[in-house]
Amino acid sequence: GVAQNTYNTGIWSKMDIQERSHIMNNIAYTLKNHLNIFAFKESVQTGRPIKEMEAQMTRLPEWFEYYASLIRSKVDTCLPFKGDFVNYVKREPLGVVAQITPWNHPLLISIKKLAPAIAAGNSVVIKPSELAPCSILEFVKLCESSGLPKGVINVITGYGPTTGKYLCNDSRISKIDFTGGTDTGRIIGEMAGRNITGMISELGGKSPMIVFDDVDIADVVNGTVFGSFIASGQTCIAGSRLLIQKGIYDKFVDKFVEKVKNIKVGDPLDNNTQMGPVISEQQLNKIDQMVKNAKKEGAKVLCGGNIINNQLNGYYYEPTVLEVEPHMEIFQEEVFGPVVVVHKFTDEKNAIELANNSEYGLGASIWTNNIKIGHRIADNIDAGIIWINDHHKNDPCSPWGGFKNSGIGRENGIEAFHEYTQTKSIIVNYSSNTTDWFSNSNSNVRYS
């Protein structure tokens, strides 16, 4: 009710664009001055290393700066409507939108959704994960202290099957934006369909990293280890399938495993820690069970493969590399943990077949010094985000989202702004001629 009432007052939805842009820039400026506080909160609630969170936090103000600029420079269209008509098209907010965010990047993913939603003039009800709500609750206070009217962003906390279900079933919601598992995405999609509610979803992934034999092995080992193990592998875009051309397979795998074995696992608040725990005991047990199943299917453990049972306080799993075959569950299904599978390929055709052998299509990376190969492979990979010679990189202007079972719609860029608006087409007749369709001679009257 608060979100709807706030929207109806027009205090934000009808605010002058320049003033709305100014407040969004204020939010970015205030956030820049509180990054260390948010990095600490994110690390404490998720277990991700403080060094990693401090690096990620520095990027977050950019989303508000980008959309503050976008709304000041966006151009509504005037279409070439046939005849003596002017047809102009305006973009207007949707109303009240719901956002359901996960625990792995609590503030980053929330801000990716919040910035375009409020830039467009919507009111938002956001439900963070019950495992990581703290930074989002604090962030809303920061927004309001920066000039955002109360009631524009509203946070409700609780569990998905209860609070989330209630929110998604509310007919007052104009759009649902969800990041999380594919199975949950299907359930939310059914709820949205019953209420004729729009939906954006960023769901599961099983991203391939394709390494060709012309690369500098040491450099690409560093890049792919980052792609696999940043955030303890708990990202939908994690490079969890490492495909290596046969000519360098053995040498590359040896160096990759050596690098993985040297990842420093420990206390997230220690600046020397490179990898922390996974989010919960439930997630730890899921990871362990999937690795055990892989072993039964014949996967070869090259390193790791076990729960860490020692003095560390948390749910730690060893950084793990498995040599597998494409038919195995662990090649196909998302682990969401520090586990990467490796497999060799022969040529470009084989690489494409293996990369696309998945129900998911979120991301992929291609590692090669041959510009022709890079573009050819990118052109044939079924994924919404493709990097050449890198992985994970993100920017407010760059569309983010997947193909196939990895979701629908896009975050970032003008695409996200469009996701949070609806078009109103206004057609004006300026002809000096009068018409009477029902006269006896109407042969020249335009029907449509």
- Which helix (DSSP H) or strand (DSSP E) does residue 117 occupy? helix 106-119
Q: Cα 429 to chain center, whole Å?
A: 44
What does the radius of gyration of the chain's CA atoms come to, in whole angstroms?
A: 25
Tracing tokens 């820690």 back to the chain, one arrives at: 273
Given the residues 42, 62, 65, 202, select the one marked as catalytic.
202
Sign of CA dihedral 216, 219, 221, 226: negative
Given the residues 236, 318, 323, 411, select the one marked as catalytic.
236
281, with CB counted inside 10 A (0-12, 13-18, 19+), is: exposed
Q: Is 62 a catalytic residue?
A: no
Q: ∠ at Cα 59 (54, 64), nearest 5°?
A: 135
Tracing tokens 């291609």 back to the chain, one arrives at: 366
Q: Is 202 a catalytic residue?
A: yes
Strand partners, 361: 403
How many residues are recorded in the chain?
448
In 152-211, at which residue ranges do the beta strands (DSSP E only) sit?
153-155, 175-179, 198-202, 207-211
Question: What's the half-sphere exposure (Cβ side, CA atoms, 13 Å) at 372?
Answer: 1
271, with CB counted inside 10 A (0-12, 13-18, 19+), is: exposed
| Dihedral Cα 76, 192, 402, 342, nearest 10 deg | 160
Pick from 125, 126, 102, 128: which is nearest to 48 by CA? 102
> Which residues carry out catalysis?
202, 236
